[in-house]
């Protein structure tokens, strides 16, 4: 038998627990609320008694490097009792490690990746929970058009994610009448050239800045924007949907799947508010939904076998998935920081 067959046989054979992997960044890093959401979903799944067996988690911490993420995926794949992995914050890490998971028979619910290249034809156990970079960028461009935010200065990290968002935003902006003041790419850790470019961009007087960078690095870019005299509001994807952003006291607008009004939003918001006394951010919601979707599918299938769970995920659940494992019709919302809180924008 190959790895996938051995894993399926062990999952079918029973045992005293279901072993699920959780992979994300550390507690002091952006997205730490993922762990709160995941823990809440596990707690609720254990309470309702619907799981075939008790859940045990195997937790791994990413450090932002592809090397570390690949090591984690190899460890997960080598453990024949791991039936599913939820997580991976970085889109490129998720795309690369998905190959290991698929061929070793592990179900992967990618909670952080917005890269459309993650899911592909022929893969049966890989699911993407996030909307794509392009979908998020289009929502932001439409928001800019509706609010008369033109021209827009695009400032983006020169990586796969940054280029995808910047390209999609610019294409949509042209279609909806939003002018682009300039495009400024930067490499992480090399911000001096960007600082000079921002001082020149001030003369264009942009009405908004599209910033494509994750926290905490995004904070440094915002400091440079303000230092250069650009005080326009910042538009961003869910990269900046982080509770740490609220403390910046900045005018920041994000596009996110959370708050779009679909049933998954209501489920997450109600459960998270009851447990933690505050609204969930995108990553708390992704942790919660990622675990809940997998455990609910296990309960409906009366099985922890990855192929059985994958088949059930494509049938029903809080989030609908296509045959390729892509989320279907996840509503997108736009949120703005108002009085140190996130406020939905209509």
Phi, psi of 137 (to 5 degrees): -65, -40
Tally the C-alpha atoms within 13 A of residue 174's C-alpha that lie toward its C-beta.
5
Residues 198-233: pLDDT tens digits? 989 999 999 999 999 988 889 999 999 999 999 999
Cis peptide before 216 (omega within 30 of 0): yes
Residues 250-283: pLDDT tens digits? 999 999 988 777 778 888 989 999 999 988 888 8
**Among 69-73, 145-149, 243-247, 254-258, the least confident range:** 243-247
Rounded-to-integer distance, Cα 258 and Cα 252, Å: 16
Alpha carbon of residue 22 to chain centroid? 14
Whether 30 shows a pLDDT value over 50: the answer reads no
Residue 215 is predicted with a pLDDT of: 85
* Pair type for strands 252-256 and 234-236: parallel
Helix (H, G, I), strand (E, B) or coil at 187: strand
Burial class (CB in 10 A: 0-12, 13-18, 19+), 223: middle
Nearest alpha-carbon partner for 20 in 287, 284, 328: 287
Percent of the chain with pLDDT over 90: 62
| Residue pair 317/293 in contact by the 8 Å Cβ criterion | yes
Residues 47-104: pLDDT tens digits? 877 777 889 999 999 988 899 999 999 999 999 999 999 999 888 899 999 999 999 9
Residue 341 is predicted with a pLDDT of: 84
Percent of the chain with pLDDT over 70: 98
Whether 135 shows a pLDDT value over 70: the answer reads yes
Rounded-to-integer distance, Cα 90 and Cα 114, Å: 9
Please, where are the H alpha helices in the chain? Answer: 3-12, 33-48, 66-78, 91-104, 133-146, 160-176, 192-201, 217-227, 263-276, 282-301, 306-313
Rounded-to-integer distance, Cα 63 and Cα 139, Å: 30
Whether 187 shows a pLDDT value over 60: the answer reads yes
Rounded-to-integer distance, Cα 33 and Cα 285, Å: 8
| Residue pair 154/182 in contact by the 8 Å Cβ criterion | yes
The whole-model pTM stands at: 0.89
For the chain, list the domains and their CATH numbers: 3-131+261-331 (3.40.50.2300), 134-256 (3.40.50.2300)
Provide the pLDDT confidence category of residue 28 given band limits of 50, 70 and 90: very low
- How many residues can be counted in the chain? 346
Whether 29 shows a pLDDT value over 90: the answer reads no
Which residues neighbour 276 within 8 Å (Cβ) at sequence distance 6 or greater?
36, 40
Residue 27 is predicted with a pLDDT of: 62
Rounded-to-integer distance, Cα 99 and Cα 123, Å: 9
* Mean pLDDT score across all residues of the chain: 90
Region 175-194: what's the mean pLDDT?
91
Rounded-to-integer distance, Cα 290 and Cα 312, Å: 14
């Amino acid at each position: 038998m190959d790895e996938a067959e051995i894993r399926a046989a062990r999952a079918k054979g029973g045992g005293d627990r279901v072993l699920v992997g959780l992979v994300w960044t550390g507690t002091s890093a952006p997205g730490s609320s993922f762990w709160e959401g995941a823990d809440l979903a596990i707690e609720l799944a254990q309470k309702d008694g619907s799981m075939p067996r008790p859940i045990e988690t195997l937790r791994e911490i990413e450090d932002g490097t592809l090397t570390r993420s690949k090591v984690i995926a190899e460890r997960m794949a080598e453990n024949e009792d791991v039936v599913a992995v939820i997580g991976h914050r970085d889109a490129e890490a998720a795309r690369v490690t998905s190959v290991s998971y698929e061929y070793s028979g592990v179900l992967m619910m990618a909670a952080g990746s917005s890269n459309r290249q993650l899911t592909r034809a022929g893969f049966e156990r890989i699911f993407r929970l996030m909307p794509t970079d392009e979908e998020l960028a289009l929502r932001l461009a439409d928001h800019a058009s509706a609010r008369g935010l033109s021209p827009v200065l695009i400032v983006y990290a020169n990586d796969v994610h940054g280029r995808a968002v910047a390209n999609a935003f610019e294409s949509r902006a042209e279609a909806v009448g939003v002018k682009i003041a300039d495009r400024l790419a930067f490499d992480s850790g090399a911000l001096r050239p960007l600082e000079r470019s921002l001082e020149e961009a001030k003369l264009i007087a942009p009405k908004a800045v599209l910033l494509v960078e994750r926290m905490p690095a995004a904070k440094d870019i915002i400091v440079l924007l303000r230092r250069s005299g650009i005080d326009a509001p910042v538009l961003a994807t869910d990269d900046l949907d982080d509770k740490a952003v609220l403390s910046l006291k900045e005018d920041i607008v994000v596009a996110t799947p959370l708050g779009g009004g679909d049933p998954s939003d209501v489920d997450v918001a109600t459960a998270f508010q009851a447990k933690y006394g505050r609204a969930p951010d995108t990553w708390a919601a992704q942790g919660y939904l990622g675990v809940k979707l997998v455990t609910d599918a296990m309960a409906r299938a009366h099985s922890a076998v990855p192929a059985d769970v994958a088949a059930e995920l494509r049938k029903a659940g809080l989030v609908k998935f296509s045959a390729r494992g892509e989320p279907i019709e996840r509503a997108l919302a736009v949120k703005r920081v108002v009085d140190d809180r996130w406020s939905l924008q209509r």
